Amino acid sequence: MSHPFETLTPDLVLDAVESIGFLSDARVLALNSYENRVYQVGIEESEPLIAKFYRPDRWTDAAILEEHSFTAELAECEVPVVAPLIHNGKTLFEHSGFRFTLFPRRGGRAPEPGNLDQLYRLGQLLGRLHAVGATRPFEHREALAVDNFGHASLATLLEGNFVPKSLLPAFESVARDLLKRVEAIYASTPHKTIRLHGDCHPGNMMCRDEVFHIVDLDDCRMGPAVQDLWMMLAGDRHERLGQLAELMDGYNEFHDFDPRELALIEPLRALRLLHYSAWLARRWDDPAFPRSFPWFGQERYWGDQILALREQMAALDEEPLKLF
């Protein structure tokens, strides 16, 4: 069966952009994106635009527009973020069955791992994001929870026969044990859910002219604040403690962080491990995925995953990071 994105040709991309009134110069550059399709489109006598075509059937229109509304809210509060362009009063458009959004082009570089000065500034930025995010909930976007990121992910992997039979008992056993521990920690850890970036890895925090700005809120959702913070940390425990201190010094200037949420870092890492494998499984019918992730179907990948889940089980038993 053909995949819907197979019909998203360069000509269709140009036609979509021109259908709402922009005149292209016929230059189209595909950018690195798997969940959606993103292109740089040249515009006559103007700066290029970034056209993002949403994966069919993933989000409802209401959920996409809620992402756009959140981004606009952040921009209105002067939080540096790349917001969708508003054209004729709209941010979401449709052409030939594809929904798409246009963005201004913004370049930049990702943070340097372990750079304490940058972590302080990233903390300030994330504190400002969460100060806005905590003012009201999402209505149309899902929350990050053990059920959807953990149990549903495991069900996808088991029911789809993605795990080699020789490794299936070991994988299922460690995954189920891991989820039991994650559920127990979640239940015993006080936390609030707020509107988050949701996928806040360093590649989504870009620096340009010494100013960091936030990109790609496609995965924004409700969840604990620490979800947007833990992926900023790298290295061994001692290094992460120093990095956390700098991150929190900046963060707490704009939004109060509940240090009890630090106990959720390793459970959230566990959920991300399972969710990532399930994401690959759910997208395996997209021809771009077997080409880009050929190792996913190999026995070695699943052996490595079993080891990673066992290591994560041990990490859950370690003392959580603390602020001093």
Model pLDDT for residues 186-222, shown as the tens digit of each residue:
999 999 999 999 999 998 999 987 889 999 999 999 9
Domain range 116-317, its CATH number among 2.60.98.20, 3.10.290.10, 1.10.510.10, 1.10.10.10: 1.10.510.10
The hierarchical CATH code for the domain 4-104 is 3.30.200.70
- What is the pTM for the complete model shown? 0.94
The answer on whether 204 is annotated among ligand-binding residues is yes
Q: What tokens were used for 111?
A: 């943070």
Model pLDDT for residues 228-247, shown as the tens digit of each residue:
999 999 999 999 999 999 99
What are the extents of the domains in the chain? 4-104, 116-317
**Type of residue at 121:** R
Which residues in the chain land under pLDDT 70? 1-2
Are 95 and 16 spatial neighbours (Cβ–Cβ below 8 Å)? yes
Scan for tokens 């003012």, then name that residue. Answer: 135
Q: What pLDDT, on the 0 to 100 scale, is given for residue 1?
A: 47
Could you give the CA distance from residue 50 to residue 42 in angstroms, rounded to a whole number? 9
Residues 6+ apart with CB under 8 A from 85: 49, 91, 101, 102, 103, 104
Map residue 96 onto helix, strand or coil: coil
Helix 116-133 × helix 61-76 angle, to 10°: 120
Could you give the CA distance from residue 232 to residue 123 in angstroms, rounded to a whole number? 9
Q: What pLDDT, on the 0 to 100 scale, is given for residue 108?
A: 86
Q: What tokens were used for 239?
A: 């290094």
Q: What pLDDT, on the 0 to 100 scale, is given for residue 324?
A: 80
Could you give the CA distance from residue 127 to residue 194 in angstroms, rounded to a whole number? 12
The answer on whether 148 is annotated among ligand-binding residues is no
Question: Phi and psi dihedrals of 40, rounded to 5?
Answer: -90, 125
Catalytic residues: 199, 216
Query: What is the rounded radius of gyration, in angstroms, for the C-alpha atoms of the chain?
Result: 21
